[in-house]
Chain A
Amino acid sequence: MRRRSEPGVPLPLLVPAVLAVAFLVLPLAGLVLRTPWAELGPQLTSPAVGQALRLSLVSATAATALSLVLGVPLAWVLARSRARGRSVLRALVTVPLVLPPVVGGVALFLVLGRQGLVGRWLDQALDVTIPFTTTAVVIAETFVAMPFLVISVEGALRAADARFEDAAATLGADRWTTFRRVTLPLVAPGIAAGAVLCWARALGEFGATITFAGNFPGTTQTMPLAVYLALQQDPDAAIVLSLVLLAVSVATLLLLRDRWLTRAVR
């Protein structure tokens, strides 16, 4: 790749770039400008908001943890294994990226619902029902968010210098040891970036959650659901809730960026 040293941005790029910034930032500015600040205090301290926010943070974090445990090995298989049909596999696991989340929620019902393929058995044999529980929220969020992690980690694995792994192999390390001691540290920044992306997507999840997990305060009503329902009755409350969600996500991303992401960018 050649790097050009000439300063400045060419006009044909500058104009659309400025438009893009305006397009992305103006709605957020509108949210801040329209915030009824007088209502901020009462809303923030209301137990319902705290409950929804706590549930959102807990379930997004659990979904990210689940995605890490399952998604990193999957990314390794996609990037490193020589198995046939990898491109088909990659296409399959990234389907949730393009699937409307509501459709994802219905699909989850058909598999994990009480009448679903697996859910029916869970219900009858183990007396476990998943829909309308916090577990269902985590599953819905994982379904939608894990592909983001898999794609990021696979990219990092492909970009990582395979010679380190080859060297470890010639020194007698088996593939598991190589993965653990060489590959993982090598792609750690990529995993961190993928995890943040995954967490952010899980935090904002709406469609699959309201479909598969339902909406009940304390168990399944996450912040996006609370915002949606508040909008129907009290738009001001919805704006305040949105602002809280926005502030929490931006703060979390900034915090993580200082810790990890700057390393990923380098």
Chain B
Amino acid sequence: MSRRALLGTALVLVLVLAGCGGSAGGSATAPSDGPAEPGGTLTVFAAASLTDVFPGLGEQLEADHPGLDVRFTFAGSSALATQVAQGAPADVFASANESQMAVVTEAGLADGEPQVFAANVLQIAVPAGNPAGVTGLADLAREELTIAVCAPQVPCGAAAEDVFAAAGLEAAPDTLEEDVRAALTKVELGEVDAALVYTTDVTAAGDAVEGIDVPQAERAVNDYPIAVLADAPNPQAAAAFVELVRSDQGQQALADAGFRTP
């Protein structure tokens, strides 16, 4: 490479770096159109189990408020709570249990009291046809089966621990998945004989997965709280979204996906 080319490359790099700095500062403050209409960008952090419900509600909100752009991040609630605590520019946080919401509220990062908008229970998911012949929770304690359970750090894993404790069983998982959807994927791929996921995930997976009810799961029902964040760049749109989730329409969408509604 000639000296001139090197110099050119260096200059371009400096310009790019300078450009990044400028635009990052500019876009962080979303434009708000005064108190009248929610507009700009709304960022919603939601538990992985809400992956199939919230996007529909987001589209509804966009249709109601032209100019509004709703964006979602779906992941394990604990990962999201950590990101919020580290200053992620989110407007709304919807958690799959109360304790991950508590991480956010105890840090003073929620605006007002979180509202419980849904509940979910665990169910055993097996690949279509149930090749290993799983019938109940006791099968998830069998060493010879390949079992996926959520990691204890995420809400579905915490609930799974409670369910196994309530049943007096020692679980024999082969992998502790980082969120509930990762566990579900292993079932869909047929790579595990069974996984403990939410009822709603079994519904969402359609024909690829069969669900088996677990009576003990009633001992560990997860309540889903939602909150507008104190540092929300777009508090108006955030409030509108929370309102929509708690409206009859939102509750119906959640019920259709298999959630229990309060």
A binding-site residues for B, Cβ under 8 Å? 10, 12-13, 15-16, 19, 109, 113-115, 129, 131-132, 210, 213-217, 219-221, 228-233, 235
Do A216 and B174 touch across chains, with their CB atoms under 8 A apart?
A: yes
**Which chain A residues lie closer than 8 Å to B189 at the CB level?**
109, 113, 115
B binding-site residues for A, Cβ under 8 Å? 6-7, 10-11, 13-14, 17, 76, 78-79, 81-82, 85, 146, 148, 151, 153-154, 173-178, 182, 186, 189-192
Do B175 and A16 touch across chains, with their CB atoms under 8 A apart?
A: no
Do B79 and A232 touch across chains, with their CB atoms under 8 A apart?
A: yes
* Contact pick for B176, options A115, A215, A235, CB 8 Å: A215
Do B13 and A16 touch across chains, with their CB atoms under 8 A apart?
A: yes
Known pairs A109-B189, A132-B191. 6 more at Cβ < 8 A?
A: A12-B10, A13-B7, A13-B10, A113-B189, A213-B175, A229-B151
Which residue of A is nearest B175, CB measured? A214
- CA A76 – CA B75 in complex, angstroms? 44
Do A131 and B14 touch across chains, with their CB atoms under 8 A apart?
A: no
- CA A132 – CA B13 in complex, angstroms? 43
Which residue of B is nearest A220, CB measured? B175
**Which chain A residues lie closer than 8 Å to B151 at the CB level?**
215, 229, 232
List 10 A–B pairs whose Cβ atoms lie within 8 Å, in order of A's numbering: A109-B189, A113-B189, A113-B191, A114-B146, A115-B189, A131-B191, A215-B177, A216-B174, A221-B176, A229-B153
**Which chain B residues lie closer than 8 Å to A132 at the CB level?**
146, 174-175, 191-192
**Which chain B residues lie closer than 8 Å to A210 at the CB level?**
178, 182
Do A19 and B17 touch across chains, with their CB atoms under 8 A apart?
A: yes
- CA A231 – CA B178 in complex, angstroms? 11
**Which chain B residues lie closer than 8 Å to A16 at the CB level?**
10, 13-14
- CA A210 – CA B154 in complex, angstroms? 15
Which residue of A is nearest B100, CB measured? A232
Which residue of B is nearest A211, CB measured? B182
**Which chain B residues lie closer than 8 Å to A13 at the CB level?**
6-7, 10
**Which chain A residues lie closer than 8 Å to B7 at the CB level?**
10, 12-13
* Contact pick for B173, options A12, A113, A216, CB 8 Å: A216
Do A232 and B14 touch across chains, with their CB atoms under 8 A apart?
A: no
Give A130 Cβ to nearest chain B Cβ, in Å.
10
Which residue of B is nearest A20, CB measured? B13
Do B175 and A215 touch across chains, with their CB atoms under 8 A apart?
A: yes
**Which chain A residues lie closer than 8 Å to B176 at the CB level?**
214-217, 221, 229
Which 6 residue pairs spanning A and B have beta carbons closest together? A214-B175, A232-B78, A132-B174, A115-B190, A232-B153, A233-B153
Do B191 and A232 touch across chains, with their CB atoms under 8 A apart?
A: no
**Which chain A residues lie closer than 8 Å to B17 at the CB level?**
19
**Which chain A residues lie closer than 8 Å to B79 at the CB level?**
231-232
- CA A221 – CA B174 in complex, angstroms? 11
Give B121 Cβ to nearest chain A Cβ, in Å.
22
Do A233 and B14 touch across chains, with their CB atoms under 8 A apart?
A: no
Give B149 Cβ to nearest chain A Cβ, in Å.
10
Q: Given A16-B13, A132-B175, does the pair A232, B154 have CB atoms closer than 8 Å?
A: yes
Most buried by B among A10, A113, A215: A215
- CA A16 – CA B176 in complex, angstroms? 43
**Which chain A residues lie closer than 8 Å to B153 at the CB level?**
229-230, 232-233
- CA A109 – CA B175 in complex, angstroms? 15
Do A215 and B191 touch across chains, with their CB atoms under 8 A apart?
A: no
- CA A231 – CA B182 in complex, angstroms? 18
- CA A186 – CA B4 in complex, angstroms? 36
